[in-house]
Structure formats: structure tokens, C-alpha cells
């Protein structure tokens, strides 16, 4: 069983974020300013030993990989941002490529949404619009990705680099783009590209050209699961805040049918969810999360991945989404307990040998 954790690169400064959000903005900016909205609301989230890293620092990237490997994470799925020829937040991953470090498997997920002030990928209060262009633009994008696809660390299935697209339904002529990329891949010595579409919190149209789909949790469950007892409004002194039951979301995940039109599905898991550091009371937060519960549910999902989905891969949201409350990295409150639960779940599934994890 190969656990792959999504990794957010927005832990370094870029000129665009300085302009849009204020000088010095990184993901830590939102994380640090978070406040508890109700009794028992555990904010702000603080990293273990106050390690507010910068991902342009090689030591930080190596630390992430060393810790992840020690507790059984197989690889990272780095978010890739590309806006019709303009990359954003590319420096950490480019440094991974050029330095050859860390020696840790990876793949890419194209987060192909517009950036907005509401952090919702919509069309209002735009910071930068997602556009796709035509064949010439697609070819430029492919050759930007080819440097990664050729890397020996890149995760492959059927000897093809795995490339995830977050919102393929937003891409005009998507099947034509995928066909072009596959032709270019073969032309450049690859066996093709293993395309994966994301099953998330949005409408999922029928599309050709994908080899598999990945469940992005808890968003997929929010939009397509059994949510009858999931959501509740909490009164915050005249303002309403939307909360959901951590256990109900996980039970919906575990009770979902694995039979979906015969397509290959990579199951998902989520650590927690709380995006109030970004959105305040307009965000959503989970009630009832804990490391012990996460470990129990992850153990069940690993078992389902093997026996029902017949999948060697399971994708976790996330390694370091601190401003969304979805992180495996050690924090001040729980330290390494979430990672210890990952290790325990893999050991119980017979997928991870006992090793010393005092990283």
C-alpha cells in the first residue's frame, strides 16, 4: 500500500502574494492569525517546535521527506499551478528537480482553478484567472512538465508518469489536450502519461482520456456522499458558522460503494478540515477529530483500498495544508501522534515493517 500525501508549496514568498495579500504573505500568515470561534475550537494551529519553515530552504524540504518516510508515507503529490504560460509557487518543486533532493517519490496535481480572494476557485474577486489557450499553449505546458516526468523519482503506473488534474471539467477541449500530451510524451521517449482526474466537491462530467480517478476527501463526500446528518450551523453571536461531524464524514467515506461505472478509483483519506484561518466564520470546521479516530478510520480505508478497490495507492489530504486544518506534519498540540497513527495503520495492514521513527 502506497500512501501519497498532497503537499502545498505556498510556504514561501512570491511577488504576486505580496501584492494581493500584503508583504511577506505565506500560508503561515493565515495560520498564525487564526482564532478560536467557539469552545473547543482548536485554533491557532502551531507547528511542532515553532518550525515555521520556508520551502525554498533545502533543509525544510529534506526534513519533510525524512519525517514522511519514517512514518510510512510513500510519496508527495505537489500542487502545480500554471495559468496559460505563467507558473506560480513553482520555486520549491523546481528546486527539488534541480537539486536531486530529497530522494523521495513524487507526482504532480494541476490545481487548475482561478485564484480568488474567497479561496474558492470561482469567478468573483479574481486575483488571477485560469485560462487554457490552444495547442501551442498546451505544448508549452507539456514541455514545462516534461522535466518532472523524466525524473527517476516521479511516481509511475504502467511505466507512465502519474499526472492529476483537479478540475478537468473546466478545461475546454480537454480530451484533445490529453491526446496531444500523450503524443508528445511518446515522441519524447515516454510510454505516455497516466492521467488521473480528481473527484472533488464539484460537478463531475463524463470525460474521456483519463486512466483513473482519485477521491479528494472530504470534499468529494461533501458534494457526493451521504450528508443527511453531516452539517450543522453554529450560532456565533448573530453569525452562523458551518460545522460538520468528523465521524459522519468518515463513515460516509467508508460506506461508499466502490462500484462506479467500472473506472479505476484511487481511494482518499483526510486528516481533518478547518479552513477558518482563511475565511473566519465563513469557513467550515470539523467537530470531533482526533489522532486516534483518524488512525482507526485510516486503517479501515487501507483495508478497503486493498480488498474492494484493488488499489495499491491511497491519497491523503494532506501533508501540510495548515490553513485548512488538513496536515500530517507534527504540531504543538498533538506532536507526532497523527503520523504515529499512519504508521500503526500500515503495520496493521501488513504494509509497513516496524522501524524506528524518532525523526
For residues 220-231, average pLDDT? 89
Per-residue pLDDT, 258: 76
Provide the pLDDT confidence category of residue 352 given band limits of 50, 70 and 90.
Answer: low
Provide the pLDDT confidence category of residue 173 given band limits of 50, 70 and 90.
Answer: very high
Provide the pLDDT confidence category of residue 354 given band limits of 50, 70 and 90.
Answer: very low
- Region of poorest pLDDT, from 78-82, 95-99, 123-127: 123-127
Mean of the per-residue pLDDT values of the chain: 94
Q: What is the pTM of this model?
A: 0.95
For residues 10-17, average pLDDT? 98
pLDDT value at 26 more than 90: yes
Q: Cell for 212?
A: 483513473
Residues 6 or more apart whose Cβ sits within 8 Å of residue 13: 24, 25, 26
For residues 125-152, average pLDDT? 97
DSSP 89-123: S-HHHHHHHHH--S---EEEEE----EETTSSSSS
- What is residue 225's DSSP assignment? S
Per-residue pLDDT, 181: 98
Q: Which residues pair with 116 in a beta bridge?
A: 126
CB atoms within 10 A of CB 241: 20
pLDDT value at 142 more than 60: yes
Dihedral of alpha carbons 27, 28, 34, 39, sign: positive
Amino acid at each position: 500500500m502506497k500512501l501519497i500525501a498532497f503537499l502545498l508549496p505556498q510556504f514561501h514568498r512570491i511577488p504576486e502574494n505580496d501584492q494581493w495579500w500584503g508583504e511577506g504573505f505565506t500560508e503561515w500568515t493565515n495560520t498564525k492569525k487564526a482564532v478560536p470561534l467557539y469552545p473547543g475550537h482548536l485554533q491557532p494551529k502551531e507547528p511542532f517546535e515553532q518550525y515555521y519553515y520556508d520551502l525554498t530552504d533545502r533543509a525544510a524540504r529534506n526534513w519533510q521527506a525524512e519525517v514522511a518516510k519514517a512514518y510510512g508515507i510513500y510519496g508527495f503529490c505537489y500542487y502545480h499551478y500554471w495559468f496559460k504560460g505563467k507558473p506560480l509557487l513553482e520555486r520549491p518543486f523546481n528546486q527539488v528537480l534541480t537539486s536531486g533532493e530529497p530522494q523521495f517519490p513524487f507526482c504532480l496535481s494541476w490545481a487548475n482553478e482561478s485564484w480568488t480572494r474567497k479561496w474558492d476557485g470561482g469567478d468573483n474577486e479574481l486575483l488571477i484567472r485560469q485560462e487554457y489557450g490552444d495547442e501551442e499553449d498546451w505544448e508549452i505546458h507539456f514541455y514545462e512538465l516534461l522535466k518532472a516526468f523524466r525524473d527517476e523519482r516521479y511516481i509511475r503506473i504502467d511505466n507512465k508518469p502519474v499526472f492529476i488534474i483537479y478540475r478537468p471539467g473546466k478545461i475546454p477541449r480537454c480530451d484533445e489536450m490529453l491526446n496531444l500530451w500523450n503524443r508528445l510524451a511518446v515522441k519524447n521517449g515516454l510510454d505516455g502519461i497516466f492521467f488521473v482526474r480528481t473527484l472533488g466537491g464539484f460537478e463531475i462530467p463524463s470525460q474521456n482520456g483519463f486512466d483513473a480517478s482519485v477521491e479528494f476527501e472530504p470534499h468529494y463526500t461533501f458534494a457526493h456522499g451521504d450528508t443527511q446528518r453531516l452539517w450543522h450551523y453554529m450560532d456565533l453571536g448573530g453569525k452562523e458558522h458551518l460545522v460538520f461531524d468528523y465521524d459522519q464524514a468518515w463513515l460516509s467515506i467508508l460506506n461508499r460503494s466502490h462500484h462506479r461505472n467500472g473506472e479505476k478509483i484511487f481511494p482518499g483519506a483526510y486528516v481533518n478540515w478547518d479552513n477558518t484561518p482563511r475565511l473566519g466564520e465563513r469557513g467550515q470546521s470539523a467537530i470531533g477529530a482526533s489522532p486516534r479516530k483518524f488512525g482507526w478510520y485510516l486503517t479501515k480505508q487501507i483495508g478497503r483500498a486493498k480488498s474492494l478497490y484493488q488499489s495499491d495507492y491511497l491519497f491523503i489530504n494532506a501533508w501540510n495544508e495548515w490553513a485548512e486544518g488538513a496536515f500530517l506534519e507534527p504540531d504543538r498540540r498533538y506532536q507526532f501522534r497523527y503520523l504515529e497513527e499512519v504508521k500503526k495503520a500500515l503495520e496493521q495492514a501488513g504494509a509497513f515493517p516496524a522501524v524506528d521513527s524518532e525523526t
